[in-house]
Amino acid sequence: MNAVGAAGLTIDAVAKAAGITKGGVQYCFGNKDGLIDAMMERWFNEFDTAVAAEGGDDPDPVKAMRAHASVTARMNTADNARTSGMMAALLQREEHMAKNRAWYRARLDGIDLSTEAGRRARLAFLATEGVFLLRGFGFVEMDDAEWQDMFADILKLPEPGDAA
């Protein structure tokens, strides 16, 4: 399925890849939207778990943004393309978009923009997502060295010890 992208995500294709019946997939997920919901929920949870592990217990918003950028920086090209492709598929349905909007809003709302550190953390977050989307959607071709170089710069925005 990764080879054909989101368009190749069908109940039949998932059933074949998993070695189960189409009815088994439909029983678990209902329809393609249910399957996409489950995949996105899993990916959000995996990403959030990695960010929490990177940021430690109860990180301040600046440390959380640094953790977000660090985890994103570790994504390989295939992960980036997979996630971007699924996000593109989600643009077609308002209910899926609502979940994405809520996820992004939650990240931005925790930052105290009355501080310089908070404003810099917001810039780091926006830069992180910008680079992720530019690479993932193929708007800018970049090799892993350039990807890592950009994240080295992004991670300097909210310097350690800053607080929001």
Instruction: Write out pLDDT tens, residues 90-100.
Output: 667 787 788 88
Confirm if 37 and 31 have CB atoms less than 8 A apart.
no
- Asked if residue 54 belongs to a domain, the reply is no
Token pair in block for residue 144: 């892993």
Q: Give residue 6's pLDDT band: very low, low, confident or very high (50, 70, 90).
A: low
Q: Give residue 8's pLDDT band: very low, low, confident or very high (50, 70, 90).
A: low
% of the chain residues with pLDDT over 70: 87
- Asked if residue 21 belongs to a domain, the reply is no
CA 156 to chain centre: 21
Of 1 and 53, the structure prediction assigns the larger pLDDT to: 53
| pLDDT value of residue 124 | 93
- Asked if residue 131 belongs to a domain, the reply is yes
Q: Tell me which residue range forms the domain holding 84.
A: 60-154
pTM: 0.76
- Asked if residue 33 belongs to a domain, the reply is no
User: Among 103, 135, 121, which Cα is nearest to 66's?
Assistant: 121
- Residue type, position 33, single letter: D
- Asked if residue 124 belongs to a domain, the reply is yes
- Asked if residue 160 belongs to a domain, the reply is no
Average pLDDT of span 125-148: 90
Instruction: Write out pLDDT tens, residues 50-92.
Output: 999 999 888 888 888 889 999 999 887 777 777 777 677 666 7
**Number of domains comprising the chain:** 1
Alpha helices in the chain (DSSP H): 11-18, 22-29, 32-55, 61-73, 77-90, 94-109, 116-136, 144-154
- Asked if residue 133 belongs to a domain, the reply is yes
Q: Does the structure show a pLDDT above 70 at 32? A: yes
In whole angstroms, what is the distance from residue 11 CA to residue 123 CA?
A: 40
CA angle 19, 20, 22 (to 5 degrees): 125
| pLDDT value of residue 79 | 72
| pLDDT value of residue 7 | 58
